[in-house]
């Protein structure tokens, strides 16, 4: 039995299973529409058509830009800041020990209730949105980076010393690459959570952005728009996450 045949069949099976999953989800959607009626939902087909129209309309893109801008900045801050702080906390044991319960506590609270404080401090606008998105995303990145560094096998540090490497060089060539896979997992989770934070901040107290568009659509009972935006955001989040997971699997395999 060659390795080629061992690989192809599982791939076909996996694709088949994915197709079944998507099929089931679409069927459930269609069924819900059947029960709830046109006033409450649109069918998958209608939603896709409307989404195409939406993407073609000029009104959509300014809102998209607002969200995209806030998201990208928040992402950069959350990933870079979180990784940096997390790595430092990982290397300095005491600080890490002090910080950990605080981080866990922050992770478990409904951060959305802190949003008014952010608004009071930064005012309405891009800064608040970015702050909120960053607040969401930075915590998991920190926690994962910290743990990634803590989990570096001591034998690697000893190897570095034996090779006579300086601390910086040891970190660069041995330790951080060893910690990278777990850090990447944190980045992936940080990505999704930052997106959540950014969109949520627009759902409250905002005048622009996809989140605002969503709540506005609710206000005027524009069901098509509500479903269309939900579909866009869910699809984007799912596909982005799937891609990141594929990269992550490859990173772990190289390890």
Asked if 226 is part of the footprint of another protein (rule: CB under 8 A), the reply reads: yes
Q: Where are the beta strands (DSSP E) in the chain?
A: none
Q: What is the dihedral of CA 198, 204, 208, 211, to 10 degrees?
A: 50
Measured CA distances, 94 to 86, 154, 168 (Å): 13, 17, 20
Instruction: Among 72, 76, 88, 114, indicate the residue that binds another protein (CB under 8 A).
Output: 114
> What is the three-class DSSP state of 70?
helix
- Member of 28, 48, 218, 246 binding another protein (CB under 8 A): 218
CA distance 50 to 44: 10
Count residues binding another protein (CB under 8 A). 62
Residue 38 contacts another protein per CB under 8 A:
no
Decide if residue 247 touches another protein (CB under 8 A): no
- Regarding 195 and contact with another protein (CB under 8 A), the answer is yes
Verify binding: residue 26, another protein, rule CB under 8 A.
Answer: no
Mark 214-248 as b/e (b = at least 16 C-beta within 10 Å). bbbbeeeeebbbbbbbebbbeeeeeeebeebeeeb
Binding interface with another protein (CB under 8 A): 1, 5-6, 14, 17-18, 20-21, 24-25, 36, 39-41, 94, 97-98, 101-102, 104-105, 108-117, 119-121, 188-189, 191-192, 195-196, 199-200, 203-204, 214-215, 217-218, 221, 223, 226-227, 229-230, 233-234, 237-238, 240-242, 245
């Amino acid at each position: 039995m060659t390795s080629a045949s061992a690989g192809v069949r599982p791939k076909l099976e996996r694709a088949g299973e994915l197709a079944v999953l998507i099929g089931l989800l679409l069927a459930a959607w269609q069924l819900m529409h059947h029960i709830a009626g046109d006033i409450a939902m649109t069918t998958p087909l209608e939603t896709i058509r409307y989404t195409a129209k939406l993407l073609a309309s000029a009104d959509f893109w300014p809102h998209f830009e607002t969200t995209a801008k806030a998201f990208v900045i928040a992402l950069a801050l959350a990933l870079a800041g979180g990784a940096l702080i997390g790595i430092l906390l990982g290397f300095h044991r005491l600080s890490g020990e002090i910080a950990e319960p605080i981080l866990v506590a922050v992770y478990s609270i409904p951060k959305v209730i802190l949003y008014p404080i952010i608004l009071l401090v930064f005012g309405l606008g891009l800064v608040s949105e970015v702050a909120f998105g960053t607040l969401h995303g930075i915590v998991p990145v920190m926690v994962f980076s910290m743990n990634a560094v803590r989990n570096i096998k001591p034998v690697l540090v000893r190897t570095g010393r034996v090779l006579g490497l300086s601390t910086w060089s040891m970190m660069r060539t041995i330790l951080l690459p060893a910690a990278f896979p777990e850090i990447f997992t944190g980045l992936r989770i940080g990505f999704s959570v930052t997106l959540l934070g950014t969109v949520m901040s627009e759902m409250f107290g905002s005048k622009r952005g996809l989140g605002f568009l969503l709540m506005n659509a609710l206000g005027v009972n524009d069901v098509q728009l509500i479903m269309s935006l939900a579909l866009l955001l869910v699809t984007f989040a799912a596909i982005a996450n799937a891609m990141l997971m594929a990269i992550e699997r490859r990173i772990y395999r190289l390890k």
